[in-house]
Amino acid sequence: MTGPRGLLAAAASGFLFFLIGSALPFALRRPPVRQPIAFNHQKHVKDNDLACSTCHEYYEKEAFSGLPTSEICASCHLEPQGKSAEERELVRLLKAGAPLDWKPLFLQPPHVYYSHRRHVVTARIDCSVCHGGIAQTSFPPARVPRLRMADCIGCHEKHGAPTECTACHR
């Protein structure tokens, strides 16, 4: 097909190919994480000087850092600490005895073994190396960038840590 119709068809096909190609990465992204409330890391870590271990009580002892339980939150939040809608909702949930079903923001594939204890205690790596500026966020994103194998390998090479497959892949 030549002429204006042929050019129009070629342009439309090219545009459609471009749209599909540029939209595909967005379609393949993981769905957003829905939390019980929008947690304010900055208020807890920066403003109130709480250690990560206050809420993530296992990060220095085990592979999984742990997520705050209702009991941990209730130690400060059975009464409102502020006037935000999120604070009111948290107090309501705690008084109702509802479990706080926090979802991890940082996920690794099931075949990847990652030990917080090994990285935080043994290697003395600050949380921000892997978790970025999450402690400075007033309301973290529903999803954070996933660490890629190249990120881990680069850090391991830089610090002389093992890079053989079985060190992280189980």
Q: How high is the pLDDT of residue 24? A: 43
Q: From CA 90, how far away is CA 128, in angstroms rounded?
A: 26
pTM over 0.75: no
Q: How high is the pLDDT of residue 7? A: 57
> Concatenated DSSP letters for 91-134?
HHHHHTT-------SS---TTB---HHIIIIIS---HHHHHTTG
Instruction: Name the pLDDT band for 4 (thresholds 50, 70, 90).
Output: low
Q: From CA 45, how far away is CA 85, in angstroms rounded?
A: 20
Model pLDDT for residues 110-138, shown as the tens digit of each residue: 899 999 999 999 999 998 888 888 888 87
Taking CA atoms, 9 is separated from 18, 19, 67, 167, in Å, by 14, 15, 54, 53
Q: What is the mean pLDDT of the chain?
A: 82
Q: Are 123 and 161 a contacting pair, CB within 8 Å? A: yes
Q: How high is the pLDDT of residue 99? A: 87
